[in-house]
Amino acid sequence: MKTFYLLITSLVLLSCSTEKKSSLQVYSGQALGTTFQLQFFHPNELELSSAIDSTFSVLNQSLSTYISNSDISKINSGDTTVTVDQQLVDNFMASKQIYKATQGFFDPTVGLMVNAYGFGPETYNLQMNSRTIDSLMTYVGFDKVFLTAENKLKKAHLETYLDFNSIAKGYAVDRLAVLLNQFGVQHYLVEVGGELVAKGKQIENQEVWKIGIDNPEATSVSDRELLQYIVKLENRAMATSGNYRKFKTDADGNKFVHTINPKTGRSEASDVLSASVFAEDCMTADAYATAFMAMGFEKTMMLLPDLENIEVILIYSKGEEVKTYISEGLNKYVIK
């Protein structure tokens, strides 16, 4: 049986315009360590360069762990005087909710372990053995961080390290969508680093925005361009975590990817090779996509019935096979 994956770059754009007063406008570039693109229709030519740059600048100053004088970097270094802005409050509150919903499988304080393993902005010269991991895990746990009434983050341990990168990219998509809404744009597709939110239609073909799905077993670029499915992204957001093309295979033929389990602090095998999450906003989709990678397929399937307005496409390994699960709520949005 064939399996499929989400190909974010394969956007179906046709050319039969029925709303001649609105033209396609595109802004693209690099920000937050990745690329971004805004596609939208509007009857007037909008100049959004400054507003887009300002949006990214504010987010960086608030949330970037790669900028030494950002608010989050100051907090991580032990500065207790920082009054956090609305961007950090939004990410903190959403993270707290998803941390509880996933029973700790989504945890921004796992950034300490990400750094310890050498995957983050800070590099620790540590030997990652059981003793080291258990020692560091003393400082991991989002239940050890609190937001005060004065909008200051209080940590139970100064060593606790906060990293909102697994939700901030989705949040950036949402903020850019808010920007377009403020300019009266009714039809757009916003993408930052592969995370997306869509509103309205692709006016040139008078249909909702569409994302192509390809065969994950394709071995060449030309093969990957052969669309197998189309997913309609109708007034929804989508985020993907993981990459099945980077999976490893053990001696028994089992395929897996490595991800850091925030509950154990260990780099563990996950049978979820890729999690694409559809939600009402992109920060929620982004966070759950990260959590599902750490949870694995079985735990994710147990949690899904308890989550409202969350749909998924999961690429997972079962023995030597790579399979795809598409949640029932997506059936009417998937076209063969």
Per-residue pLDDT of 167-197, as tens digits, reads 999 999 999 999 999 999 999 999 999 899 9
Has residue 54 got a pLDDT over 50? Answer: yes
Q: Residue 49 pLDDT > 80, yes or no?
A: yes
Question: Is the model more confident about 104 or about 3?
Answer: 104
Residue 228 has what pLDDT?
54
Residue 15 has pLDDT above 80, yes or no: no
Q: What pLDDT is recorded for position 274?
A: 87
Sheet holding 34-42, edge to edge: 23-31, 34-42, 187-192, 195-199, 237-242, 272-279, 311-318, 321-326
CA distance 249 to 151: 47
Supply the mean pLDDT for the chain: 87
Asked if residue 220 has pLDDT above 60, the reply is no
Q: Which structure tokens are listed for 212? A: 């192509």
At residue 163, what are phi and psi to the nearest 5 degrees? Answer: -140, 110
pLDDT band at residue 123, thresholds of 50, 70 and 90?
confident
SS3 248: strand
Give me the mean pLDDT over the 88-103 stretch: 97
pLDDT, position 118: 82
**Comparing 30-44, 122-136, 292-306, which segment has the lowest mean pLDDT?**
122-136
Question: Averaged over 58-65, what is the pLDDT?
Answer: 96
- Strands 237-242 and 207-214, bridge-based pairing: unpaired
Considering the domain delimited by 77-162, tell me its CATH architecture: Orthogonal Bundle (1.10)
| Binding-site residue positions | 166, 286, 290
Looking at residue 19, its pLDDT comes to: 42
Q: How far apart are CA 238 and CA 191, in angstroms?
A: 9
Q: What confidence score (pLDDT) does residue 91 get?
A: 98
Q: Considering only CA atoms, which of 257, 32, 61 is closest in space to residue 166?
A: 32
Q: Which residue has the higher pLDDT, 86 or 251?
A: 86
Strand segments, DSSP code E, in 71-178 are: 145-147, 153-155
Identify the band that residue 4 occupies on the pLDDT scale cut at 50, 70 and 90: very low
Q: What is the pTM of this model?
A: 0.88
**pLDDT recorded at residue 321:** 86
Residue 52, pLDDT > 50, answer: yes
pLDDT in tens, 233-284: 989 999 988 875 666 676 777 766 778 899 999 988 889 988 999 999 999 9
- Structure confidence at residue 12 (pLDDT): 37
pLDDT at 6 over 50: no
Q: Which residues are annotated as a binding site for Mg(2+)?
A: 166, 286, 290
User: Is pLDDT at 292 greater than 60 in this prediction?
Assistant: yes
